[in-house]
Amino acid sequence: MRKRLALSHLPTPIQRPRRLADALGVDLYVKRDDMTAGAEAGNKIRKLEYLLAAAREEGADCVLTCGGLQSNHARATALLCASLGLRAVLFLRTADPSAAAPLEGNALLDRLAGAEIRLISPEAYLDREAVMAEAAAEIRAAGGRPYVIPEGGSNGLGALGYVRAMEEIRKQLDLGIAGGKPFDVIVHACGSGGTAAGTALGASLHQVAGEVRAMAVCEDRATFARVVLAIMDHARSLDARLGAPAHLVIDDSAKGPAYAVSTPEQRARILKVARLSGLILDPVYTGKAFSGLWDMAERGELSGKRVLFLHTGGLPGLLAQGTSFADVL
């Protein structure tokens, strides 16, 4: 077994938002992975439990990673590194790298945690692996011991966090939670592929669900198909128990105009979900994913199925986009 740091508050609950489920006409449950921790909560912490364990095992004193300006992964990395006494260097994509990181949302939490933020252009971000490798070499030459974590923590090692999450769900089902039976489909947001890979592999291994629907929030189906397959291959090389995944559908129908840009309809649905259930979704990840689930329900594709929505967090990103909700509030 791969080493893991216990950084999360587990198990996260599985809840049935009855009024929301009735409104959609869906047998709906929600896995509350927005409750994995405090300010560092969300799906990324499950991946970082393995990745930061590897960093410590290698004797690292500095962790480098990357993401968008309001990256949930970067925020979780910054906060967890602070708790472990590790330096964090974040390469964040923004249209104006000459500006300072804003004092709002995830970027504010990055700064509170003492992370070093290096803003880079979208063009430079295309070569993010080379950018981080060069920075790691410079840190190593200065006597530091860097460890590089890819975007979203999405590699085979990070994906083991969601293999383990599926084992957690299996144990909850065995206790009679959520009806005690496997789900027909798990729906979640997909931004870098690691959660999809781990969920599909783990859902099959632990007989949690026959299908995983990964709702892309950026890129297209073909791109994520390649990425997720590569991550699954890497995960299998690390855990011999892993075999064929559950049926994985990558759905790019709800990705919206661009990464971190939602449609008015998606924002209206975020509002409706909050008022029907008290669940808070964000316009970058979970709001888009749930909007895709909503579309499936309206088309009748979820009729008679047991559905689990994996709530991957993202509250700070929502708070950084408050003004975009003026059209629906």
State the helix-helix crossing angle for 264-277 and 286-298, rounded to 10 degrees.
90
- CA dist 204 and 200 (Å) reads 6
- CA dist 148 and 208 (Å) reads 32
> Which ranges constitute the DSSP H helices of the chain?
18-24, 44-57, 72-84, 105-112, 122-125, 128-141, 156-174, 194-205, 221-238, 264-277, 286-298, 315-319
Q: For residue 12, how many other CB atoms are within 10 A of its CB?
A: 23
Respond yes or no: is residue 253 known to be catalytic: no
Q: Which member of 71, 154, 262, 291 is catalytic?
A: 71
> Which ranges constitute the DSSP H helices of 181-285?
194-205, 221-238, 264-277
Distances (CA, A) of 289 to 157, 247, 311: 24, 18, 9
Active-site residues: which are they? Answer: 71
